[in-house]
Amino acid sequence: MTRNGLPKRQRLIGLWLLLSGVSLFGGAIFAAWLDAQLSPTGPTRVALWLGSFSGGATIFLVGLLLERMLFTPLRHLQVQLARLVANPDARDEHPPEGWLKGLGPDLRKVRESWRIDRNQLATAHADGARSAAKIRRELETLLQVLETPLLLCDHHRRLMLFNQAAEDFFVDNTALGLGKRLEALLPVASLQQALSQLPTDGSPRELLAPCDNRWLKIVLRRVPGSDGETLLTFSDATASWSNEMGVRAELATKLPLLRQHTASLTSAADALIQLRHNGAENPALRQRFEQVIQEEGATLGNNVGQIGQLLDDLQHQGERLTPMWSNDFWQALDERLDPAHRLITPIGMPAWFKGDAPALIVLFDSLVKHLNSHLPVSHFEGEICLGNKRVYLDLIWQGSPLPEHELAKWRRQPLPSLPLNPLVSDVLRQHASDIWSLADDGGLYARLRLPLPAMERVGAPRETAPPRPEFHDFGIADLPPPDEALANRALRSLEVVAFDTETTGLELRRGDTVISLGACRVVNARLLASEVFDQKVDPKRPIPLNSTAIHGLTDADVVGAPPLDIVLARFRDYVGEAVLLAHNAAFDMLAITNKGVVFDLPVIDTLLISRALDEALDGHDLDSLAKRYDLAFPPGTRHTALGDARVTAELWLALLPRLEARGVDTLEQLLALQANAFDRQDASAP
C-alpha cells in the first residue's frame, strides 16, 4: 500500500499474479502427490486435480474481479476528483463504474451543487464588480492607446502596470514585466533615491537617468492615497539633444562673430559719415573705410546666410520629421487617393526615410491629381532609391516626363488641408528638398523624384502586436516583500518561470546540446501569456534526422541563431529572481547548466509533484498529465520549447489547489515533497 492508501497498479498485478502462480504451482504438486499415493481413477481423479487447482484459480478470478470492479473504478474516481479539484468545469470522462456505479447520482449531485454554488458566487461578484469592470476596461483602452510610456510600481518597486508604449519604449529589454523589480529595468542609484524622497501629495519630480546608451527624462509621482505606489512616465531626451544641441552650439558660436562684424561695420560707417560731415578730403582714408565696409558687409552677409541655414536645419531636425517605412507610405497614400482601388504599386526594395508624414501624404495626393490632368494614365508605381546621404522617393508612370513649367505651376499650389494653408514649395522647403521629372533609360517610363533624408535603420518595421492580454496586476502589491525568505513563500505568491528545451538528442553528456529554449512567466498564480522567452540556438553541429522527426527543427531553422552562451545569458536576465519550473527538470537543467551561466535558483518539477500526489496512478509524462487535467496543446505546439513550457505552466496551476488541499503551502514544503519522490523514482535520472 502507498502512503495514499491505494496500491500501485504494477505492484497489485504483480502480487496477484504471484499468489495465483504459487497457488496453481502448489496445487499441481499436491495433486501429483495425491495421484501417486492414492492412484484414483475416473471421476475421482478428475475431481482430485480440479480441487487442487481450485485455490489458484479462485485467487486469479477474484483478483480479476477486484481489478475490474473495484480497483480500476477507484483509480478512475481518483483521476476525476483530481481533475475537479484542479478545474471544477473540466469534462467528466470517468463516471463511477463497477461496484462504485451507485455513487454516480451522488457524485453528479455534489458536482452540480458545487457548480451552482460557484455560479451564484460568481454572479454575486459580477453584480458587485460590474461598474469596476467597466472602469477597468476604459482604463485598459486608454492605457493601450496612450503614446506616453508609463509604469506603475508598488512600494517594493515591483511593476504592477505598464502600457504598450512602455513595451515599445523598452523593446527587447527582458527586465520589463509584471512583478519584476524596477531596479532591474533601471539600475540607477539616483532613481532609487528619488523614489524614496517623493512627496505623498502626487507632486511630480523630474529626473534624467541613463539607460541603454540613451538618456531618459523620467517624471515620478506618488499615487495619492495609495500604499506607496508610484507612477513613472518616460521620454527619450537623447534624440532631442542630438538633433538640436549641435545646431544650437553652432548658433552660439556664430552670434559673437555676428556682433563683432556688425560693430566693425557700424564703426566704419560712422567714421565715413563723420569724414564727409567735416568736409575733409582724404582719398586714402575714405578708400580704406569703404573697403572695411565692403569686407565686413560681405562677411556679415555670409554669416547671416549660415545662421539661416542653421535655423532651417533646426526646423528639419524637429519632431515633425519622423522615420517612415516606404511601403507604409505608399499604402497610406493609396488609401487617401482611392480606398477602393490600388492606384500605386510599390516596386523595388523598401527602405526607411525621414519626413513629415501628413505633409508628404497631402503633397503626393496633390501631385497625383495634378498629374492626372496632364497624363493619360491613372496608375503609378512607387519606388525608393538609395543615395549616399539621401533617398529618392520616385513616382513612376508610362509616358513622358512632366515639363518643368508644369512642375513650377504645381509648386505654387496651396495645400488647404494642412495647417496654415502652406504652398507645395513650403513643404518642399521644410524637407530641404525639391522635385524634378526625368525619363528612364529606354524612354518608355518617366518619373518624378523627391530627395528626402535617409535613415540608418535597416529591416522592415516590427509587426504591430495585438494588445497584451495582461499588462497590469494590482494584486502584486499584496504579495510578500521581496526580501522575505523564499522558503517561506506561499506557493501562490511565487514568481515562476516555466521553461523547456529542445535538443539535438538525449545524450547531453555525450555532446548533444540545446537548439531551442522557450519559457513563460507565472506571477501571482496567473500565467502571463504574452511575456515569453522564445529563442532558437545554433548548436554548432548538425541536427540528426531522428531528432528533427520529434521537434521539427532542421539545420536551416537555426542558421544565424545566437550560440548557447548568449541565449543563456539573455534567459538568465529574463528569469530574474523567479523560481524555475520544468517537467522532468533533471533533463532540462542538465541542458543549461555548466555552460558559463549560473542558475542558482530553486527548481520545481511537475513530474515529481505528480508522482508524489498520485503515486498509485500510471502515466506522469506531459501528454498523460495534460489529458488528465484537461489541458490542450494548441495545434503545432507539442514538442516545441515554448508550447511545452506553456502547458507545463498550466499544469503547475492545476496542481496548486491539490497541493494546498494536502497542506503543502510553502516552497520549502513543496521541495521536500518532490525530493522524496525524486529519491524513490529518479535516483538515476539523466
Q: Domain coordinates of the chain in residue numbers?
A: 1-145, 147-317, 322-453, 484-683
For the segment 607-644, what is each residue's pLDDT rounded down to a tens digit?
A: 999 988 888 777 889 999 998 888 888 888 888 999 99
Q: Which pLDDT value is given to residue 211?
A: 79
Whether the Cβ atoms of residue 263 and residue 249 lie closer than 8 Å to each other: no
Query: Residues with Cβ < 8 Å from 603, sequence gap 6 or more?
Result: 579, 580, 581, 582, 585, 589
How high is the pLDDT of residue 544?
92
Fold that domain 484-683 belongs to in CATH: Nucleotidyltransferase; domain 5 (3.30.420)
pLDDT-based confidence at residue 504 (cuts at 50, 70, 90): very high
pLDDT at 568: 95
Distances (CA, A) of 97 to 63, 67, 72, 619: 17, 12, 9, 21
**290: its cell numbers:** 569703404
Which parts of 22-163 are beta strand (E)?
150-153, 159-162
Q: What is the pLDDT of residues 557-571, one digit of tens each?
A: 998 899 999 999 999
pLDDT top residue among 72 and 317: 72
Q: pTM of the prediction?
A: 0.60
The answer to which of 96-100, 204-208, 604-608 has the lowest mean pLDDT is 96-100
The pLDDT assigned to 603 comes to: 93
Name the residue with higher pLDDT: 465 or 398: 398
**Residue 616 DSSP class:** T
pLDDT at residue 252 in the model: 57
Q: What is the pLDDT of residues 576-588, one digit of tens each?
A: 889 999 999 999 9
Over residues 86-92, the mean pLDDT reads: 66
pLDDT at 597 over 60: yes
pLDDT at residue 260 is higher than 90 = no
CA nearest 144: which of 123, 128, 160, 166?
166
Mean pLDDT of 42-53: 75
Mean pLDDT of the chain: 80
**Who has greater pLDDT, 359 or 321?**
359
Q: With left for phi above 0 and alpha for psi between -120 and 50, is residue 479 left, alpha or beta? A: beta
Are 168 and 236 spatial neighbours (Cβ–Cβ below 8 Å)? no
207-216, 246-255, 453-462: the lowest-pLDDT one: 246-255
Q: pLDDT value at position 684?
A: 38
Q: Distance between CA 587 and CA 647 in Å, rounded?
A: 17
Return the CATH superfamily for domain 322-453. Answer: Histidine kinase-like ATPase, C-terminal domain (3.30.565.10)
**Burial of 570 (C-beta count, 10 Å sphere; 0-12/13-18/19+):** middle
Percent over 70 (pLDDT), the chain: 76
> Residue 576 is placed in which grid cell?
530574474
* Chain segment 416-434, per-residue pLDDT in tens: 888 778 888 888 887 888 8
Which grid coordinates are listed for 476?
Answer: 502584486
Give me the amino acid identity at 573: D
Which of 3.40.50.170, 3.30.1340.10, 3.30.450.20, 3.40.50.300 would CATH assign to domain 147-317? 3.30.450.20
Q: CA 149, CA 344: separation in Å to the nearest integer?
A: 35
Rounded Cα distance between 296 and 574, Å, is 64
| Arithmetic mean of pLDDT, 167-193 | 85
pLDDT confidence tier of residue 332, bands split at 50, 70 and 90: confident
Q: C-alpha grid cell for residue 343?
A: 492606384
Beta strands in 547-675 (DSSP E): 579-582, 603-605
pLDDT band at 320 (very low <50, low <70, confident <90, very high): low
Whole-number Cα distances in Å, 29 to 11, 23, 123: 27, 10, 71
Q: Looking at residue 421, what is its pLDDT? A: 81
Q: Which of 30-44, 222-236, 276-290 has the lowest mean pLDDT?
A: 276-290
Residue 462 clears pLDDT 90, i.e. is over it:
no
Q: Put the strands of the sheet holding 579-582 in their side by side order.
A: 527-536, 514-522, 496-503, 579-582, 603-605
Please give the pLDDT value at position 221.
92
Nearest Cα neighbor of 174 from 185, 183, 164, 163 is 185
pLDDT number for residue 49: 76
pLDDT at 665 over 80: yes
